[in-house]
A and B are shown apart, each in its own frame.
Chain A
Amino acid sequence: MSETSPEEARRIAQGARDRVHFEEEALALADQVYRVARGVSRSKEEAEDLMQETYARAFRSWESFTPGTNLRAWMLRILTNLNIDRGRRAQRTPDQQPLEEGDYFLYNRLEAASGESDEERILERLSQDHVAEALAAVPHDFRDVLVLVDIGEFSYAEAAQILDIPIGTVMSRLHRGRRILKQQLAELAVEAR
């Protein structure tokens, strides 16, 4: 017979309950976490690998999560760090790449190419596939921010915390990322037809 005191037994039981509770909460967020994983990955397979690595790490380090804080943000911080660790930084961010086009650029191009003047008709020229493909072509640093804010619906402050970058950087990358996305869309929806 082991010599576990009643206090010790209670403590162990409580720890097990806390852990199960944590795991269940983390799993309940899987669909939301997957949206971000899919957004920052090039393929479905890559997203699935990333999800498994993320959950394996989260379950191992559950004790470092502070109950009552934002679990989704905590999970996504693990996910984005793992994604960075995977060496995808090999793709250099074209920070210095000139980007002369303004924010009306895509609309102007679509309008000129279609001869339409109705906003909804112009929008119809963009398919969901175009958007997914254009998003995949946005460099990672910008895409991470775009995905967290536009798809994950995080605030700037949360995205800054998750990616561990200043809030001003979140805003400038988002701004620039959206412009790059529009350039990509212009290429896909106008030039390539």
Chain B
Amino acid sequence: MSEVDPCDWCEEVLQPYLDRDLNETDVEKVKMHLNGCSWCEKRFKFETDLRRLVRQAAVEPMEPALKAKLAALRLEL
């Protein structure tokens, strides 16, 4: 059996971990590792912040003119 490098393993499970798609045993393993490894911890923090940036990427609001056009598409009574 070859030993998997714990940092490599954490990189592999980063996305399922943040998606809450990892089983409890593995979640505990990740937490234990992150507690003692600032190298991985920074990278996990970065991924979380990056997701926030992506969420904010489409906040440019819609033009009021478009809203009016959509309302005008309503069917005639």
A-B pair count, CB < 8 Å, reads: 104
Judging by beta carbons under 8 Å apart, are B54 and A52 in contact?
Answer: no
B28 / chain A contacts, CB cutoff of 8 Å: none
B9-49 interface mask toward A, CB cutoff 8 Å, 1 = contact, 0 = none?
00110111001010000000000000000000011011101
Majority secondary structure of chain B interface residues (helix, strand, loop or mixed)? helix
| Complex CA distance for A107 and B62, rounded to whole angstroms | 33
Judging by beta carbons under 8 Å apart, are B70 and A128 in contact?
Answer: no
Nearest A residue (CB) for B69: A52
Nearest A residue (CB) for B75: A59
Nearest B residue (CB) for A103: B14
Judging by beta carbons under 8 Å apart, are A146 and B54 in contact?
Answer: yes
The number of chain B residues touching the other chain, given as a range, is 35 or more
Picked from B19, B46, B54, B73, the residue with its CB within 8 Å of the CB of A122 is: B46
Q: Does B2 contact A (CB under 8 A)?
A: no
Picked from B15, B45, B55, B67, the residue with its CB within 8 Å of the CB of A103 is: B15
Binding-face segment, A29-37, A76-84, A86-94: A29-37
Which of A's residues lie within 8 Å of B, judged by CB? 16, 19-20, 23, 27, 30-31, 34-36, 38-39, 44, 48, 51-52, 55-56, 59-60, 102-104, 106-107, 117, 119-120, 122-123, 126, 128, 131-132, 135, 146-147, 150-151, 153, 171, 174-175, 178, 181-182, 185
Which of B's residues lie within 8 Å of A, judged by CB? 8, 11-12, 14-16, 19, 21, 42-43, 45-47, 49-51, 53-63, 66-67, 69-71, 73-75, 77
